[in-house]
Amino acid sequence: MSKCGCRCSCESTAKREIPEDLAKIFANYPTKKREYLIPLLQDVQEKYGYLSSDNLLNIAEHLNLPASKVYGVATFYNQFRLIPLGKHIIRVCRGTACHVKGSNQILETFQTELGIQAGETTKDGLFTLETVACLGACSIAPVIVIDEEFYGRLASKEVPAILKKFKK
C-alpha cells in the first residue's frame, strides 16, 4: 500500500521532482494551507495554460492533500482545464440574440469543419472550440470571437474562409 493509504500507483513514497518554474509558484504558498488550493490551481494554470496530471500531483504533495481532492476541485470548477487549449480559441456566442439569429448553425459548421465538438481541441492543437453564454455584442449577432477578434453578423458560409485565415 502507498503512503497515501490507497492502492494507487501514485509516487507518494518518493519525493517528486518539481520543475523550477513550479517551485517558484509554490514559494508563494509556503505554509501549505488547504485553503490555498484554488489560488494555487489558478496560478499553475496561468503559467502552463492547463493543469497537467503531473502538476496536479505536485500540488497535492505540496499542500499535503490527497490527489483525489485536488483532482476533484480541478474538475468541479469550470475555470480549470486538464488539457491544453489550442493556439486559437474560437468562442461561439449562444446568447439569446445570437441564438435567434442562427448561432447554432454556425456552431455546427465549426464542429463539422474542425472535426471536433464544443469544448474540444483539434488534434493538431491549432483550434479549441468553446461556447459562451454571451459575448456582449448583441447588436452584431450572431457573433463569434477568435482569440480577441470579433466576427459579427456571421453566416455559416463564412466559416471556412475564416478558418483558412488562421491556418496560415
* Whether residue 133 sits in one domain with residue 97: yes
Boundary-marking domain end, from 56, 82, 108: 82
For residue 151, the one-letter residue type is Y
Q: For position 30, what pLDDT does the model report?
A: 87
Which residues constitute the domain of residue 149?
A: 88-167
Boundary-marking domain end, from 60, 82, 104: 82
* Whether residue 114 sits in one domain with residue 143: yes
pTM: 0.72
Please report where in the chains the cell 488539457 appears, as a residue. 83
Q: For position 11, what pLDDT does the model report?
A: 47
Beta bridge partners of 92: 131, 144
Q: For position 10, what pLDDT does the model report?
A: 52
User: Does residue 14 contact residue 76 with C-beta atoms inside 8 Å?
Assistant: no
* Whether residue 78 sits in one domain with residue 63: yes
Q: For position 168, what pLDDT does the model report?
A: 83
* Whether residue 125 sits in one domain with residue 50: no
* Whether residue 138 sits in one domain with residue 68: no
Q: For position 112, what pLDDT does the model report?
A: 98
* Whether residue 135 sits in one domain with residue 112: yes
The parts of the chain modelled with pLDDT lower than 50 are 1-3, 5, 7, 11-13
Q: For position 2, what pLDDT does the model report?
A: 46
Contacts 24+ apart (CB under 8 A), 11-16: 11/57, 12/61, 15/61, 16/54, 16/57, 16/58, 16/61
* Whether residue 66 sits in one domain with residue 126: no
